[in-house]
Amino acid sequence: MKKLNLPLFEFKIKKENKNNIIFDEIRNKWIVLTPEEWVRQNFVKFILSKNYPKSLINCEKVFYINKVLKRYDIVVYDSSGDVDILVECKSHEIKINQDHFDQVMRYNLELKSKNIIVTNGISHFYFNYDEIEKTYKQKEDLTTYNK
């Protein structure tokens, strides 16, 4: 798989039925290794490297927006069980554009995350909700977990 703009991490990868599969330590199962999954798995490892407990991370869970089924890529909960970080992952082959930001903000209408990340593994866009200005502001990096 392509080298991403993230630290190098170790993964369990094997071949099954002509597909490469990767072990997802959050979902605790083997997943077909697509380019988007490669980004998702690397970004999960990046989140873990920032000291976020594995127990607060969830991947690819379905939820509803106006009775329409949607699926987020990665969510990190805070200790109260509220969504703290919402991550939208795209394949490294896809250039991030406005549609991707619009998609994650639609998801966030339901999830109400304080932090939003859009990544293709090469470019990462981090946003944090500013309580005073009531808007999301771009930031440089993912904050290290310190709770």
pTM of the model: 0.94
pLDDT score, position 29? 96
Which segments in the chain show pLDDT lower than 70?
A: none
Cα–Cα distance for residue pair 48/29, rounded to 1 Å: 18
**CATH number for the 17-139 domain, one of 3.30.590.10, 3.40.50.300, 3.90.1570.30, 3.20.20.30?**
3.90.1570.30
CB 89 within 8 A of CB 119: yes
Domain locations in the chain as residue ranges: 17-139
pLDDT score, position 122? 97
pLDDT score, position 66? 82
